[in-house]
Chain A
Amino acid sequence: MYLARVIGRVVATRRYPGLEGVALQWIQPLGEDGAPAGRALIACAAISSGPGDLVHFVDGREGALACPRPFVPVDAAILGFVEQAVARGRRIGEG
């Protein structure tokens, strides 16, 4: 699992069966200093997250398991809101 910031939404009305109603969102993974790390990716949202939220997400096969139907072509899923993340005593990803 990783920390990320939700930076946008993706809307695709025509999609693989089983993915109806699943929110797709752009997320930017963050490093231990809270700065962007690596490239942004699209994840399905298992929570009601939206742009600006600090979240944690899982990648790989487990992404699909977080969806309402687990046999769907998904490789990343937002699992939770992050209220506070601390690295070496310093809060990160604030704002």
Chain B
Amino acid sequence: MFLAEVLGTVVSPVQHPVLAGEKLLLLRVLRPDGSPAGKTRVAIDRARAGVGERVLVIDEGNSGRQLVARENAPVKTVVVGVVDYVELDGALAYDARSEPSAG
């Protein structure tokens, strides 16, 4: 799993049927300290995440298939949580509780 920041949404009206009805998010992958890791991802949203929020992402096929409950689904990148805060080396590296709602 990794952490990412939600940059925005991806609208895809014509796509593989297993993705029908899924909300897709555009993500910036983050390092532990919150700096960008230089990768942009597209993920299925299963955590009702919003733009600007920091999220927990899985990128593994078996987990993805369990989440969409379809055998042989070509799915692996899924947002599975919204992060409240992150501790790193005993200090807070990120704290959504003290930030104004991002947008």
Contacts and interface: CB of A to CB of B under 8 A. Distances in A.
Nearest to B28: A32
B67 interface: no
Main secondary structure of the interface of B (DSSP, over half): strand
Contacts of A58: 74-77
Interface of A: 1-3, 30-32, 37, 46-47, 56, 58, 60-63, 65-66, 70, 77, 79-89
Interface of B: 7-16, 19, 24, 26, 28, 38-43, 51, 61, 64, 72-77
21 contacts: A1-B42, A1-B76, A2-B42, A32-B26, A32-B40, A56-B24, A58-B74, A58-B75, A62-B74, A77-B74, A79-B16, A79-B74, A80-B12, A81-B12, A81-B13, A81-B14, A84-B9, A84-B11, A85-B8, A87-B40, A88-B7
